[in-house]
Structure 1
Amino acid sequence: MQTLSPVGKADQERCLELHPNNLPALMALAVSLTNTGMRNDACEALLCWLRHNPKYKHLLKGKTHLMGSPNSQRRMSTAPNVGRHESSLPEVKELFLEAVQHNSDSVDPDLQTGLGVLYNLSGEFNKAVEAFNTALSVRPEDYLLWNRLGATLANGDRSKEAVEAYTRALELQPGFIRSRYNLGISCINLGAHREAASNFLTALSLQRKSRSRQQSHQVMSGNIWAALRIALSMMDQPELFQAANIGDLDLLMRAFNLDI
């Protein structure tokens, strides 16, 4: 399963503690929760997004079981299980579709992003692709949206199209490590093992240059090394596989004629 965006759940939760009604942070949190498989909490974050959005909050009138208490959003950010009795995926998806109808004279890219996330959660990847493409019609330079589109295409077994979406994301943001990793995974799925290894090495090199100590980046690094070893094992080059086992990035970069 490829992920829609970098996992920044802790950062988003901290932002919501400071600004509980922050709509971009709520949407980003929903994406992060989707990445980590926390379906019910992702739905609750999207429900909070609707609840605090002046354009759509009226859709919840009369739906008291979905309104939540004044402190529900703060609880959600600190207790992962909160809200599971309050909302469900079908209910939240129906609300987002109502919001789309309410906003039929124009495209709200944030609304379409939320709908794309919901369709990902329900496994309706073709519908999620449509939602993200609709959002991109308004924000064609949004590299995060291109990555989300790519991940959705990949999860829907459309790896060739996913490569195109990830490539566009990287044209807009060359240092976007998540897209570089996702591109490598799609290359493996397509049997392009050398291209996959090259993308993983580029991602590892970018990480090393950033010198990030964040836990999320450390986890990501482990995932990239694991995927790199898979790609190298399929290339039947045991010396390079051994270099990956010991973490010799410089040797591998030279072997692939990449800048160190």
Structure 2
Amino acid sequence: MQAEWEELARRNWLEDSEDQQPVPPTVSPAEKGYYFNTNNPYRDWPNVFAEAQEKAREGDLNTAVLLLEAAILQDPQDSEAWQLLGMTQADNENEQAAIVSLQRCLELRPNNLPALMALAVSFTNSGMQREAGDVLRRWICHNPRYKHLVQDSRSPSNSSLQDVLLLFQEAALLNLDCVDPDLQTGLGVLFNLSSDFDKAVEAFSAALSVRPQDYLLWNRLGATLANGNRSEEAVEAYTRALELQPGFIRSRYNLGISCINLGAHREAVSNFLTALNQQRRSQRCSQQQMSANIWAALRIAISMMDRPELFQAANMGDLDLLMRAFDMSDV
């Protein structure tokens, strides 16, 4: 159980990182293909991309994924659909699918700046530091405002994280009279990668000064605060993210982790059950489509409550029993 907790704590810029570095997966997501849902009921529907955008805004992430997969099956060259699919999978705590989708988007449109930034975040969450740094350098290379910095730089294309950080800091000096929230987001990611969490908090806070309604930024701020052992502040940031986007599974999961760190085990369980129920809510979302990471975190939280009968239910994946045990309605 301790090993399981340590593995969870390394994900999503969570707590207890200390000096441990995540071990990259043995097979890179780049080497894997995207696995589409079989028997997609939206396969031949018209206007599926617009419908997917609406479902994503509503927080119905599972339905949005099915609609986006249908859009791609109808037009495999639709880079915008691949981009939104990647971002939606990341929100839904499915990093593997997010990485593959965003990489496909960038094959079709290499200068897609939002997709590059999203991919850098997904690589960071997956412990793939070198890949994250490479993508952030590409973001600078393709950004019309900053690409001259790379052309003027003598750093090689396979720059170290420190080289990429210097590029972003140099770019920030070009914006002394204003804040570029995208650049600050990149700085926040890079400072997280170098474990300089106070500076990462400053960067994400600067980005939020321009985009206060950006739920992704609030989640990234929360995760950074949690990494810096500031769990109470992290809870406030996650809560703000969920106020802006109640269906944001990743932030709900992160909030549960911070609750564990604060000793609020029942609140943690409540958040994990809410996240799992949100994933299940779509009638076509099977048990296998629910996040294994959330189930693992739920087992840890329940184990800390000394409720062996409920721990067994969590091991069995009995969500209905757990919802009843914690007086949570299936809404």
TM (norm. structure 2) is 0.69
Name structure 1 gaps, 5 residues minimum.
Answer: 69-85
Deviates more, 1:245-254 or 1:181-190: 245-254
Deviation for aligned residue 1:2: 4.2
In 2, Cα distance between equivalents of 1:2 and 1:140: 25
Provide the rounded CA distance (Å) in 1 between the counterparts of 2:254 and 2:275.
10
Partner residue, 1:78: none
- In the TM superposition, residue 212 of structure 1 has moved relative to its aligned partner by 4.5
Match of 1:241 in 2: 311
State the partner residue of 2:12: 3
Once the two structures are superposed, residues 96-132 of structure 1 have per-residue CA deviations (whole angstroms, 9 ceiling, x without a partner) of 0111111111100000000000000000011101100
Matched, 1:188 2:197: no
Q: Which residue of 1 aligns with 2:296?
A: 226
Find out whether 1:34 has 2:106 as its counterpart.
no
> Aligned equivalents of 2:101 and 2:226: distance in 1?
27
1:212 and 1:145 mapped to 2: Cα distance? 27
**Residue identity (%):** 70
**Partner of residue 329, structure 2:** 259
Q: Counterpart of 2:242?
A: 170
Q: Which has the higher contact order (CA 8 A, sep 6+)?
A: 2
| Alignment deviations for residues 22-51 of structure 1 (CA, whole Å, 9 cap, x no partner) | 011111111111111111111110000000
For 1:74, the equivalent position in structure 2 comes to none
The residue aligned with 1:52 is: 142
Which of 22, 34, 37 is residue 112 of structure 2 equivalent to?
22
Report the equivalent of 2:36: none
Partner of 1:127: 199
Distance between the aligned counterparts of 2:138 and 2:125, measured in 1? Answer: 18
What is the CA RMSD across the aligned residues, in angstroms?
1.7
53-62 or 21-30, larger mean C-alpha shift: 53-62
Aligned mate of 1:100, from 161, 172, 177: 172
Distance 1:113 1:63 in 2: 22
Q: Which of 107, 110, 116 is matched with 2:188 structurally?
A: 116
Which of 216, 221, 229 is the equivalent residue of 1:144? Answer: 216
Query: How many Å apart are 1:240 and its aligned residue?
Result: 1.3
> Which of 55-64 and 160-169 deviates more?
55-64
Structure 1 residue 61: Cα displacement: 2.5
Cα displacement (A) at 1:227 = 0.9
**One-letter amino acid of the counterpart of residue 206, structure 2:** T
More divergent stretch after superposition (45-54 vs 235-244): 235-244
The TM-score, its normalising length taken from structure 1, stands at 0.88
CA distance in 2, matches of 1:50, 1:31: 15
Q: Which moved more, 1:94-103 or 1:55-64?
A: 55-64
Contact 1:136 1:142 in 2 (8 A): yes
SS at match of 2:210: coil
* Residue 12, structure 1, aligned to residue 102, structure 2: yes
Conserved 8 A contact 2:253-2:275: yes
Structure 2 alignment gaps of length 5 or more: 1-9, 14-89
Write the deviation string for residues 122-175 of structure 1: whole angstroms up to 9, x where unpaired.
Answer: 000111011000000000010011111111111111111110110000000001
